[in-house]
Amino acid sequence: MRICLFPGTFDPVTLGHVDIINRALPLFDKIIVGIGLNTAKTPMFTPEKRAEWVREIYKDEERVECAIYEGLTIDFCRKIGAKFILRGIRYVSDFEYEKTIADANRTLDKTIETVFLTCEPKYTSVASTIVRDIIRNNGDSSHFLPDVVFRTLK
């Protein structure tokens, strides 16, 4: 079984995240959206709320699951039996950063491969950081968020 971990903070889940997951579905038997607890970041939404969004968005897709984890992504991959890590790329700068992490992960475990998908051009500007700023300032975030997420913000 081809199990893939899509790790991130997903704070909040955006249309860009959903685009990557949907386009990765034909490639894997199961995608686990891993909400990583990053002590260096102060999230706007609880990990439970973010997991609830993912589960609601994919309630009709049994191949997508969600889990909250702490620690090294590579250790979580081993725990869940994932042999692939999925990462979305918007810009060249994303690739440079993500490749560094992929190289470190490969050093830690050569059996786990990182797969990069570039996002659809219409989602290039969709970054959780920007979306959080729009939400904080009472802007219209509907252009960037799945309906399920947007509705809970109102």
Name the residues annotated as catalytic. Answer: 17, 41, 90, 128
Cα 14 to chain centroid, rounded: 9
Q: Using CA atoms, how far apart are residues 27 and 82, in angstroms rounded to an integer?
A: 13
Assigned token pair, 143: 């252009």
Residue (of 9, 28, 5) closest to 80 by Cα position: 5
Q: Using CA atoms, how far apart are residues 106 and 108, in angstroms rounded to an integer?
A: 5
Name residue 118's beta-bridge partners: 89
Half-sphere exposure of 80 (CA within 13 A, CB side): 26
